[in-house]
């Protein structure tokens, strides 16, 4: 079946666009583009840190672990290493999250890692095609042997960046692929949208369930809160670790990104042993103080008895063994 036929025949595709499981307006009824522009022009100064963010410079090429290791690079980019296999999720190493390099620039200190620091990458997972998750400059620099796994329709962008079609596997919600005997990947629903430029909904957005060498990780991508978390938890849980969208929220778009407290609840719905907040700490896409996501997520996790890990950029999270919890982010 051709890619076009797969899109048209998807149960999540109708009238030329993909749709969420639940009604999901991008903007709240009270919001308007006038209010959005007004607020963007009067953003508080601390949407960006006042100084350089601290980080840990880990020798990623020397990683050797029998259990999964997750290394976060800020926002939603991270490396997963296990038994010699290296996976990058939504890698953005260009220093900006927009089509123009002078817009949405990385915070000072958050871009200390580049592709040159990476070990040999075997796979790249792309949750959706927004600029802060699919970075053309990073993808174009990837080694020719890297395999790409993405949500349905993202392959069109990847091919336009020079990635050969036989290196791309696209997945619709609930579709799965056996990457190897010990690595299994399933695309699961998310509550969001897609689009590069003006057009929206031409490709799908998703989360991923990664089963790797006997461990189970939930890779959340971008998502508002919804019943899909309970459905995923019921079908695949419990999880050793849930990595969840917890930043760049706004009451003007409450259904497409989670408030930190909702992300904590989502980790409970999923049956996750540990929750790791991402989608913060690198780019200012909303008007909240840059470190507010970590503060709110940590407080909510404490209140609800959820184990949380908040590593520095570059600090390894070792599944089942080491979950950094330093409040390094408690600075201006």
**pLDDT tens string 192-215:** 999 997 788 999 999 999 999 999
Q: What residues contact 319, with CB distance under 8 A and at least 6 apart?
A: 67, 68, 69, 70, 215, 217, 240, 241, 274
Q: What is the pLDDT of residues 66-94, one digit of tens each?
A: 999 999 999 999 999 999 999 999 999 99
Whole-number percent of the chain with pLDDT over 70: 97
Q: How many other CB atoms sit within 10 Å of the CB of residue 208?
A: 23
SS3 137: helix
Nearest residue to 245 via CA among 299, 208, 213: 208
CATH assignment at residue 151: 3.60.15.10
Residue 309 domain boundaries: 3-15+39-318
The DSSP letter of residue 99 is S
pLDDT at 38 over 80: no
The number of residues making up the chain comes to: 332
Confidence class for position 147, pLDDT limits 50, 70, 90? very high
Partnered with residue 178 across adjacent β-strands are: 184
Residue 25 resides in a domain: no
Residue 332 resides in a domain: no
pLDDT at 34 over 80: no
Cα–Cα dist 223/204, whole Å: 12
Residue 124 resides in a domain: yes
Mean of the per-residue pLDDT values of the chain: 94
Cα–Cα dist 309/317, whole Å: 8
Q: What residues contact 258, with CB distance under 8 A and at least 6 apart?
A: 223, 224, 225, 244, 245, 246, 249, 266
Residue 26 resides in a domain: no
Residue 328 resides in a domain: no
Peptide bond into 231 cis (omega under 30): no
Residue 197 resides in a domain: yes
Residue 107 resides in a domain: yes
Cα–Cα dist 22/38, whole Å: 29
Cα–Cα dist 60/138, whole Å: 17
Please count the structural domains in the chain: 1
Confidence class for position 124, pLDDT limits 50, 70, 90? very high
pLDDT at 21 over 90: yes
Decide which of 81 and 40 is more confident: 81
Q: What residues contact 86, with CB distance under 8 A and at least 6 apart?
A: 63, 79, 80, 118, 119, 120, 121, 122, 123
pLDDT at 41 over 70: no
Residue 331 resides in a domain: no
Instruction: Determine contact, residues 130/222, Cβ cutoff 8 Å.
Output: yes
Cα–Cα dist 261/296, whole Å: 7
């Amino acid at each position: 079946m051709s890619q076009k036929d797969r899109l048209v025949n998807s149960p999540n595709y109708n009238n030329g666009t993909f749709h969420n499981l639940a009604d999901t307006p991008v903007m709240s009824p009270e919001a308007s583009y006038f209010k959005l522009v007004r607020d963007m022009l009067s953003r508080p100064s601390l949407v960006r840190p006042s100084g350089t963010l601290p980080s840990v410079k880990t020798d990623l090429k020397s990683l050797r672990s029998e259990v999964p290791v997750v290394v976060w690079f800020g926002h939603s980019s991270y490396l997963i290493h296990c038994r010699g296999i290296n996976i990058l999720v939504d890698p953005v190493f260009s220093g900006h999250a927009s089509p123009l390099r002078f817009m949405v620039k990385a915070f000072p200190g958050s871009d200390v890692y580049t592709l040159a620091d990476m070990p040999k990458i075997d796979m790249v997972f792309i949750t959706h095609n927004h600029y802060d998750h699919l970075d053309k400059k990073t993808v174009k620099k990837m080694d020719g042997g890297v395999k790409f796994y993405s949500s349905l329709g993202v392959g069109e962008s990847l091919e336009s960046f020079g990635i050969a079609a036989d290196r791309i596997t696209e997945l619709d919600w609930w579709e799965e692929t056996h990457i190897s005997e010990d690595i299994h990947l399933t695309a699961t629903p998310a509550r969001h949208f897609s689009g590069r430029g003006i057009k929206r909904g031409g490709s799908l957005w998703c989360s991923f369930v990664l089963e790797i060498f006997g461990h189970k990780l939930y890779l959340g991508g971008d998502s508002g809160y919804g019943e899909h978390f309970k459905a995923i938890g019921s079908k695949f849980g419990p999880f050793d670790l849930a990595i969840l969208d917890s930043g760049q929220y706004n009451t003007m778009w409450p259904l497409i990104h989670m408030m930190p407290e909702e992300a904590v609840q989502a980790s409970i719905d999923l049956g996750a042993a540990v929750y790791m907040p991402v989608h913060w700490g690198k780019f200012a896409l909303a008007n909240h103080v840059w470190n507010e996501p970590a503060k709110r997520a940590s407080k909510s996790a404490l209140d609800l008895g959820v184990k949380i890990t908040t590593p520095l950029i570059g600090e390894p999270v070792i599944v089942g063994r080491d979950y950094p919890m330093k409040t390094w982010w408690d600075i201006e």
